Structure 1
């Protein structure tokens, strides 16, 4: 429960989830599930079904191939988080081989791709043929990347993973940093987050407990890319994970019915489209126990529509790359619309004054700080300072409030970055692309509320010359960026207000556009 003195809230004790933590490495979750229920389906995608024993054997073979190709321990191996069986196998195999995975978003722009590959120091990469073609086009800008293998024949002679000679992996060997993930700072330059095996194992247990997952659960991921938490939570309890990247609502419902899905995971934008689908009255999933959303806030109208239709709780949580990722999740038994719920087991949360850092009483808005065993080892590279305070608290950069029952509501963001469909968006990065156009003299990009996506990018442009078409400028930008960074609206302006130091107040401009005082 929250205390009125310091708004600090702790979830259930960690010993309530300790039985779900499977070993010293994250892939040990799979090893345990393979022993307990070898023939129980583990992963289902595109008609392929892998039981726990089959998945475990495939991971071992892949680990031996990776050790033979890249050596170890602690070689950084880059992988694209595509929602495929190959990604799950490769991620677990990198762990089993004693090396470190560097997961990157397959939807990012080429410039961002170059940045993250250089930032993490990846010497090797395991890629699908599609991602291999993208990286080959920019490989000359990533000098440290020496070796690439593909998961299936790319047609250009690149070594194929299954055809590599294997090498034995020493028993029990583990990299201190299990995984590198990427996030964005105020400038839009992604930071490299270092996560340990303990971080991932604990958060898998915390999240599985909060989501009420068990061995009989069937989780369906209707997402554009792989979110590692869903794989780890399913393995922690020996559940089945269905992968469904397509946006086809009918196909998703048919897959859920065929496999008797209990948990549906998706993004607010997809869930809102499902809620507004004229075919919704015919969509029935009798086995469904919960609909779970993450990233941007789920619109209340969507929550109500889906909850009433499926007669299950529709809930959301909160987390960050730095927290492996989950820190909060709403209560399935007592959901509160708009809330991210209380902290997951063993997690602390408090609200502090944005300017002074003083702890605020229950109910007041301020910056969200969190602490717990899922908190990262730190950022990779120099120049980030001490991200975690000496007393263990981490400042999230988000603004929220905590109620008397310890439930968190996220209300705003301190930084200029915002989330669109669960992806962090940097206005600065969009501005950099916009400024490449010869007709742009000055510009500013900021977030604008959107019921489906949480927020979208909009901007003002000071044109250079006459007859400048805002739609053409937006098209120029959107062709060079992933969909969630697309400019939805663009207006022409005579000038952009700036401070004496040249800084623009994005929030002020946004408020003016919204008509706020």
Structure 2
């Protein structure tokens, strides 16, 4: 049980090991030295050992240092799906002292332009499939250096040519683009191999990554995650999850995107630091090929989220897999339903341990002890972490009473990038981060989430912020007013539903959805549209999203 500092705060155990590291680079160097010949990452049948990851990331660091004017602290955007280039680029950039800006490859041009400009990124590594979008927004950014990579670039011959040719010429997944200054990633690695990189000293308080999140409102903000934040959360993951792992011997399925903070911390840091082998799944939506990949691997651990567990358990080919070695399944990113957890355990024989976190907490706040899982909770605070729930006036509430969950610990962000006013709204002077989630602290040390951030919509584990969707829809000339809310969906947990007041009857759902597709990533595009004569509002004219959600819930009951 967690030790209680007082009647209203839950504290995790003491955090140990921070004194071993000055930065993430110390973590990396220790891992590649200890596990040199072990497999680190595999993707589409190609494996990088820790030695190869060390060598290639050093080559990339050398290219960045000798062939660009980038200085420590400058930002580099990395816009890739789960491919081997990702860990190479991340650790290469960090070795050069740069700040990594993880970017969703599903982003539209508008979303890309905002993130690149806001972060001040001076360089980008992008998959060729998305390069046409970059071409269209480049002049709206500060990007000076462009690297382009193709899907199979880190595979050997002839497989590399085959993968890249199929993607480009057969599947037609690479629209033509013109970026004359772009450097092929393979060329950068080759040139870097002929140069010597310089190790850059970074301190724990230096920013390592800008991870974008919208909080609950407005355009996405860059969350400043320091070397301290990420090292601490890696050690917290080791303390919470590590006892269930055989270091250096686990084979872990990683289907969730590495640009997402959940997988970034767990797979790129914690599992790398413990010498374990991550199997990167490039496109988990392609369930046919996903299961074929699983058939080839004797996996021991699986990291996923509720919708993926459901989708896989509904497949006969998945249910026929050999789960005899699977002993750890971790859920995060969205709420785990008891039905999904029960089904997964029935199919695989392995229970699911659910955790909780946010971008602003690097992300892990709490985790269910592997040997004492309590379904329906998000577990106990991880090491070095204090949690409390407060009322509307900020007063701590006793156990059993719902209130806003607040978190304090070394994994809590430094703040929002260039958003001091937004930072002080959620981060108190004494270090408490206000999550916006409503929770109950139990006497036994476990935490239950009873309501999410009031307006945020969670689609397959991805945050969708109503303000952003509404801004896009409101720009349509046929729209007078709009409200976006989340509604339950069997496949993705939630989807976006619009309530629209139109200027005339000619506006229809199809045209609105097409409008959104031009400006929003696919998971943000509304699935349902309902036209109304007016929207419910407060006495000061603010649209009552909660009332619309309640009406929707009542209508489905």
TM-score range, shorter chain: over 0.9
Structural mapping, 1:48-197, within 5 Å: 48-70=46-68, 71-142=70-141, 144-152=142-150, 157=180, 158-164=182-188, 165-166=191-192, 168-174=196-202, 176-197=206-227
Structure 2 residue 241 is the aligned partner of structure 1 residue 208: no
CA distance, structure 2, for counterparts of residue 233 and residue 477 of structure 1 = 37
Deviation at 1:155, TM superposition (A): 7.8
Post-superposition shift, 1:224? 4.4
TM-score norm. by structure 2 comes to: 0.86
Rounded to whole Å, the distance in 2 between the matches of 1:318 and 1:385 is 21
- Asked if the contact 2:305–2:333 (Cα under 8 Å) also holds between the matched residues in 1, the reply is yes
Q: Which moved more, 1:476-485 or 1:370-379?
A: 476-485
Give the SS at the match of 2:495.
strand
Let me know the Cα RMSD of the aligned residues.
2.3
Partner of 1:324: 362
**Which of 516, 541, 546 is equivalent to 1:507?**
546
- Verify the 8 A CA contact 2:110 2:519 in the aligned structure 1: no
SS at match of 2:422: coil
| 2:378 matches 1:340 | yes
- Does the C-alpha gap of structure 1 residues 168 and 419 become closer, same or farther in structure 2, counting only changes over 3 Å? same
Matched residue of 1:466: which SS? Answer: coil
Q: Choose from 408, 411, 434 the match for 1:395.
A: 434
1:262 aligned to 295, 300, 317, which one? Answer: 300
SS in 2 for 1:473: helix
Deviates more, 1:450-459 or 1:340-349: 450-459
Aligned residue for 1:232?
269
What per-residue deviation string (whole Å, max 9, x for no partner) do you get for residues 58-83 of structure 1?
11111111112333222211112521
Q: Matches of residues 272-311 of structure 1 in structure 2 within 5 Å?
A: 272-311=310-349
Q: Which moved more, 1:367-376 or 1:205-214?
A: 205-214
SS at the partner of 1:27? Answer: helix
Unaligned runs of 5+ in 2: 154-176
Tell me, in whole angstroms, the C-alpha distance in 1 between the residues paired with 2:25 and 2:130.
24
Q: How far apart, in 1, do the equivalents of 2:46 and 2:498 lie?
A: 44
Give the distance between the partners of 2:291 and 2:408, measured in 1 at CA.
38
Residue 485 of structure 2 contacts residue 496 of structure 2 at CA under 8 Å; is this kept in 1?
A: yes
Structure 2 CA distance, aligned partners of 1:83 and 1:132? 17
- Which stretch of structure 1 is more off in the superposition, 383-392 or 69-78? 383-392
Whether 1:29 and 2:65 are equivalent positions in the alignment is no
Q: Aligned to 1:487, what secondary structure does the other structure show?
A: coil
**8 Å CA contact retained: 1:4, 1:362:** no
Counterpart for residue 217 of structure 1: 250
CA distance in 2, matches of 1:4, 1:281: 46
Give the structure 2 partner of residue 199 of structure 1.
Answer: 229
Q: CA-to-partner distance for each residue in 1:414-462, whole Å, 9 max, x for gaps? A: 4422321121111121122222333322221111133442322112111
Alignment partners' CA distance in 2, 1:278 and 1:256: 13
- Structure 1 gaps of 5+ residues are none
Q: Deviations over 1:469-498 (max 9, x none)?
A: 334423432453222212121111111122
- Counterpart residue number, 1:429: 468
Of 383, 391, 407 in structure 2, the residue corresponding to residue 370 of structure 1 is 407
SS at match of 1:515: helix
Distance of aligned partners of 1:248 and 1:77 in 2 relative to their CA distance in 1, 3 Å threshold? closer
Kept in 1, the 8 Å contact 2:313–2:319? The answer is: no
User: Which of 422-431 and 467-476 deviates more?
Assistant: 467-476
CA distance in 2, matches of 1:394, 1:24: 24
Residue of structure 1 in register with 2:398 after alignment: 361
TM-score (norm 1): 0.93
Give the Å deviation of 1:26: 1.6
- Aligned residue runs from structure 1 range 238-257, under 5 A: 238-246=275-283, 247-249=285-287, 251-257=289-295
Partners of 1:514 and 1:182 lie apart in 2 by 30
- Alignment deviations for residues 339-382 of structure 1 (CA, whole Å, 9 cap, x no partner): 111111111111111x1111011121111101111111221104
| Per-residue Cα deviation, 1:86-106 (whole angstroms, up to 9, x for no partner) | 111111111101121111222
- Classify the secondary structure of the residue corresponding to 2:528: strand
Cα deviation, residue 464, structure 1: 1.8
Q: 432-441 or 399-408, which moves further after superposition?
A: 432-441
